[in-house]
Amino acid sequence: MSDLDRVLAAVDADLDASIERLFALLRIPSISTDRAYAAECRRAGQWLVDDLASLGLTARLNDTPGHPIVTARSEQGAARRVMFYGHYDVQPVDPLELWGSPPFEPQLVDGPDGSRRIVARGSSDDKGQVMTFVEACRAYLKVTGSLPVDVTVLVEGEEENGSGNLPSFLAANRGKLAADIALVCDTSMWNSTTPAITVSLRGMMHDEIVVTCANRDLHSGYYGGAAANPLHVLSRIVGAVHGSDGRITIPGFYDGVVEPPDEVKAQWAALDLTPENFLGPVGLSQPIGEQGRSLVEMTTSRPTFEVNGMWGGYIGEGAKTVIPSIATAKITCRLVAGQDPVHVRDAVRAFVRGHLPADCSVEFLSGDGSPAVAVAHDNPDLAKAAGALADEWGKPPVTVGAGGSIPIVGHFKKTLGQDTLLVGFALDDDRIHSPNEKYNLASFHKGIRSWVRILAALAE
């Protein structure tokens, strides 16, 4: 048997012990958003430090103004080094009464489809995913005494609370965190039998638009029909953002946007993501995005403009016949690779100003943003990881973009100069952040085996 085969066999033989180790971590209620659980967050971080140190890694619990950050390093002098990122903190468990079992007493149960699943808060997001990588390292060190590449492990305790202390930690520890590539296990598979590598994350620009017309609220009977209504003005402006073809009409909005390669689009088309199976479960039937674009493109590789909230005037019980003086809208733009958040912000604001009628003024209250992150489709490490996943799952992984944003991946690129491969084994039905969160046993087991193969491939 090759070393790879022997390590994979060790993963299989040690699965029960791997589950028990995961259960020990899951029993710690490391809820980062509630200060009452600060000691438990520290306990979870220390548990990981002790476990990583038991593998022979140099492990440390690093204090921050918030919850501590776990770091660990191997020092083999290997030709390549990877940095693995995850988080040990979890979401609150409310509403507790909807859990079928106590959220911090992990259970191994049978699902409705017959699959075995681990049920506990944090089982999928992200303790189960973190431990797939740790267990892969454990198997290598047990069988061969070394790892195919040097590894740096970085596990934070504030991801569910905004990762507020991580960017400064990265900046202060650039040298210690240097690596050829970053690996993140906090994403999903395409489905239960098809792995996925997330190669892009949309960025974000959010702003708050405040339109003022009259200098006070007005009686709608006396002024109605003559006075400008800021709710009407703001509604017309945001209504003009999208053309009848679904494209965003703001001049300069698409500057820098690059089309994915044709072979990638062909792969996406073969995924059979339809309005029925994507929009149907949320009670919708027709996509409203850009005409001629697939649903995968609409939700991952194209930028968006969304109104998240709009208000003004009287919204209490009963009637109050006024024309409000002020109307407000909160908007977000999801950005793709090549777009500059500042440029998009300025383009949006210019569009709003250009559509204001006489006597009306506008104020903008935010304008914060972060750029999108993308791994080049010809990145050699992407090809290596894809081949390793194909060997484990018996089919090539889907390479997709994520419609959401993970700001820390942008920090890895900006601060550390590292591209990131996001390889996760969660499923869409894992009930992340909800009662009865679960992680399929197959996701955990084959996730460990997948990291064994990926580490070997990245060493080549």
Instruction: Domain ranges for the chain, please list them.
Output: 3-201+372-458, 203-257+303-370
Least confident window among 304-308, 336-340, 372-376: 372-376
Which pLDDT belongs to residue 370?
84
Is the pLDDT at 406 greater than 80? The verdict is no
The mean pLDDT value for 332-344 works out to 94
Phi/psi-derived region of residue 50, left when phi > 0, alpha when psi is between -120 and 50, beta in every other case:
alpha
pLDDT digits 0-9 by tens, 122-141: 999 999 999 999 999 999 99
Band (pLDDT 50/70/90 cuts) for residue 160 is very high
Is the pLDDT at 404 greater than 90? The verdict is no
pLDDT digits 0-9 by tens, 60-79: 999 999 999 999 999 999 99
The mean pLDDT value for 181-197 works out to 95
Identify the CA nearest to 352 among candidates 335, 368, 329, 370: 329
Band (pLDDT 50/70/90 cuts) for residue 162 is confident
The mean pLDDT value for 50-57 works out to 98
Give the three-class secondary structure for 341: helix
Q: What is the DSSP string of 266-310?
A: HHHHTT---HHHHTGGGT-----S-TT--HHIIIIIS---EEEEE
Identify the CA nearest to 384 among candidates 46, 80, 176: 80
Which pLDDT belongs to residue 31?
98
DSSP state of 96: G
Is the pLDDT at 272 greater than 90? The verdict is no
The residue type of 310 is: M
Give the total residue count for the chain: 460
Given a contact cutoff of 8 angstroms between Cβ atoms, the answer to whether 400 and 421 are in contact is: no
The mean pLDDT value for 395-420 works out to 87
Q: Residue 330 half-sphere exposure, CB side, CA atoms within 13 Å?
A: 5
Band (pLDDT 50/70/90 cuts) for residue 335 is very high
Which pLDDT belongs to residue 48?
98
Which pLDDT belongs to residue 58?
98
- pTM for the whole thing? 0.84
Which two tokens mark 432? 């992340």
Per-chain mean pLDDT for the chain: 95
Which residue in the block uniquely carries the two structure tokens 């998240």? 308
Q: Which residues contact 238 (CB under 8 A, 6 or more apart)?
A: 307, 310, 329, 331
Band (pLDDT 50/70/90 cuts) for residue 200 is confident
Q: Which residues sit opposite 399 in a β-bridge?
A: 197
CATH, domain range 3-201+372-458: 3.40.630.10
Interatomic CA distance for residues 258 and 262, integer angstroms = 12
**Cα distance between the two ends of the chain:** 19
Is the pLDDT at 88 greater than 90? The verdict is yes
Interatomic CA distance for residues 109 and 118, integer angstroms = 7
Pairing of strands 438-440, 69-73: unpaired
Given a contact cutoff of 8 angstroms between Cβ atoms, the answer to whether 68 and 155 are in contact is: no
Which two tokens mark 223? 């002024």
Which pLDDT belongs to residue 376?
87
Interatomic CA distance for residues 425 and 177, integer angstroms = 25
> For 203-257+303-370, which CATH class?
alpha beta
Q: What are the C-alpha distances in Å from 315 to residues 62, 209, 357, 414?
A: 48, 19, 25, 44
Given a contact cutoff of 8 angstroms between Cβ atoms, the answer to whether 116 and 442 are in contact is: yes
Given a contact cutoff of 8 angstroms between Cβ atoms, the answer to whether 85 and 412 are in contact is: yes
The reply to whether 203-257+303-370 shares the fold of 3-201+372-458 is no
Given a contact cutoff of 8 angstroms between Cβ atoms, the answer to whether 201 and 375 are in contact is: no
Given a contact cutoff of 8 angstroms between Cβ atoms, the answer to whether 200 and 373 are in contact is: yes
